[in-house]
């Protein structure tokens, strides 16, 4: 794959070099009067957008943008050398200036088509790279360094995406995630299931591609565990009633795992649950949450809660309760609940955890919280300590070598970031495939 793309970049660079510096040739042979020739050249210049044949238009655009930017860099020096030679041979004649202008406009268009393509379509650039690219645009040397970084990021993105597509094409008929019962994805605290701002990132689409039937909890963003559990129980019963599926497989993140355990223990939901997988759930709470509540004056707590609840109502929550949600995450409350609620008989329960390797492993606010949580809870994912993750008959701790780590948000692909040593999409495919093999 990499060898193919390298050959494509070389061919595209050579083609662009010929076209950008071909003004004298086009004038001499009156090529501008041949519309079919000009059209053919334009089609060739768009070849980078069409090949390789990515399944998704987004990645065709990213690939096209990466090709344009790489071509801009590789073709710039040969074009400068050509015009220096042209200047020596012809002098400052009109033909030289027209040729230079033609090349400059060609490079200008190539650069901005490339930048707009990757800025609009890339997942991996992120806000940081986009802002740094804009800020450094007019700073000599720094703009070249940033351009190099942007090119590296988007090329790695296209290579990984194409490799993933080829792998999926090879196993498309296997229905790896076609479980007996549908998958219910349950979000954590301070978030909702929005259509365009997906809590689970690219994971639902990947699972659906492999045959999974996906549903969402659709509960409020912040509420007491008991209240959230009631919403989830009602949601499960609605899914069972509407589809006739008898049971569901639940994959719950963060506080969502606590909500589901409560629903099974107190709201008689267990008979409708085939399996429960908790992801980075604080089963024994967060000492960090205890400390925050102890440090914050009641007036501050009330002020923050009112502000959050007011905003949450505008975003769709019917009766958000910030303080109740936070209180139910404290170590004292969670530890007592964990001791009282054993995994129900007949429900396969398992848990997953992850950890960051340093404070720079995640975005705000996890990068700020990491050190504080580490002080109270030890190794953590930016919010939850490692000692709080384990639950059920199977527990897996996700770790990687090096500096990156896997944060509380990385493990659900919230930011759609490709981590160097952890393929989050493949991890969930394997996770759901395992449920399928267990008969769930």
Classify residue 363 by its DSSP letter. Answer: -
Count of H-run helices and E-run strands, the chain:
17, 6
Where residue 356 falls (left for φ over 0; alpha for ψ -120 to 50; beta otherwise) is: beta
The whole model's pTM is what?
0.87
Backbone dihedral angles phi then psi of residue 106, each to the nearest 5 degrees? -60, -45
Would you write out the chain's pLDDT as a tens digit for each of its 440 residues?
566 667 777 777 887 787 788 777 766 655 555 555 555 666 666 555 556 667 788 888 898 888 889 989 988 888 998 888 888 887 888 888 888 898 898 899 889 989 999 999 998 988 888 888 888 888 888 888 999 999 999 999 988 888 898 899 889 889 999 999 999 999 999 998 887 788 999 999 999 999 999 999 999 999 999 999 999 999 999 999 999 999 999 999 999 999 999 999 999 999 999 999 999 999 999 887 787 788 888 888 888 889 999 998 988 888 999 999 999 999 999 999 999 999 999 999 999 999 999 887 777 778 888 888 888 888 999 999 999 999 999 999 999 887 889 999 999 999 898 988 899 999 999 999 999 999 99
Structural domains in the chain plus CATH codes: 2-169 (no CATH), 175-437 (3.40.50.1820)
- At which residue do the structure tokens 């220096």 appear? 84
Neighbours of 397 (CB within 10 A): 14
DSSP 398-436: E--SSS-B--TTGGGTTT---BTTB-HHHHHHHHHHHHH
Q: Enumerate the β-bridge partners of residue 352.
A: 279, 396
Backbone dihedral angles phi then psi of residue 193, each to the nearest 5 degrees? -90, 85
Burial class (CB in 10 A: 0-12, 13-18, 19+), 170: exposed
């Amino acid at each position: 794959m990499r060898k193919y793309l390298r050959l494509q970049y070389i061919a595209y660079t050579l083609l662009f070099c010929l076209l950008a510096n071909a003004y004298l040739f086009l004038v001499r042979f009156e090529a501008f009067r041949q519309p079919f020739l000009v059209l053919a050249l334009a089609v060739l210049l768009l070849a980078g957008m069409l090949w390789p044949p990515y399944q998704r238009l987004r990645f065709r655009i990213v690939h096209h943008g990466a090709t344009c930017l790489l071509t801009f860099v590789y073709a710039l020096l040969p074009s400068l050398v050509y015009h220096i030679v042209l200047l020596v041979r012809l002098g400052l004649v009109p033909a030289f200036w027209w040729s230079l202008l033609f090349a400059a406009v060609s490079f200008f268009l190539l650069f901005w088509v490339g930048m707009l393509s990757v800025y609009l379509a890339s997942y991996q650039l992120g806000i940081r790279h986009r802002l740094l690219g804009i800020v450094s645009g007019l700073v000599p040397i720094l703009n070249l360094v940033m351009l190099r970084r942007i090119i590296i990021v988007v090329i790695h993105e296209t290579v990984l995406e194409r490799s993933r597509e080829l792998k999926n094409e090879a196993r498309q008929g296997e229905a790896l995630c076609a479980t007996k019962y549908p998958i219910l994805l349950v979000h954590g605290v301070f978030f909702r299931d929005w259509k365009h701002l997906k809590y689970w990132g690219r994971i639902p689409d990947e699972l659906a591609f492999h045959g999974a039937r996906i549903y969402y909890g659709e509960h409020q963003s912040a509420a007491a565990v008991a209240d959230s559990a009631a919403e989830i129980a009602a949601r499960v019963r609605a899914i069972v009633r509407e589809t006739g599926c008898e049971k569901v497989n639940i994959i719950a993140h963060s506080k969502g795992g606590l909500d589901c355990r409560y629903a099974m223990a107190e709201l008689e939901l267990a008979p409708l649950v085939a399996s429960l997988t908790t992801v980075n759930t604080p089963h024994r709470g967060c000492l960090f949450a205890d400390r925050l509540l102890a440090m914050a004056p009641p007036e501050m707590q009330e002020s923050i809660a009112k502000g959050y609840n007011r905003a949450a109502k505008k975003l769709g929550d019917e009766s958000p309760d910030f303080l109740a949600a936070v209180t139910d995450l404290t170590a004292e409350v969670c530890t007592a609940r964990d001791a009282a609620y054993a995994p129900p008989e007949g429900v396969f329960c398992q848990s997953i955890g992850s950890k960051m390797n340093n404070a720079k492993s995640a975005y705000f606010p996890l990068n700020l919280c990491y050190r504080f949580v580490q002080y109270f809870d030890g190794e953590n994912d930016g919010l939850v300590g490692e000692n709080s993750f384990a639950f059920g008959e199977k527990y897996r701790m996700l770790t990687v070598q090096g500096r990156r780590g896997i944060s509380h948000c990385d493990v659900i692909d919230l930011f759609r970031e490709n981590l160097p040593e952890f393929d989050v999409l493949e991890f969930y495919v394997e996770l759901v495939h395992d449920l399928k093999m267990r008969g769930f």
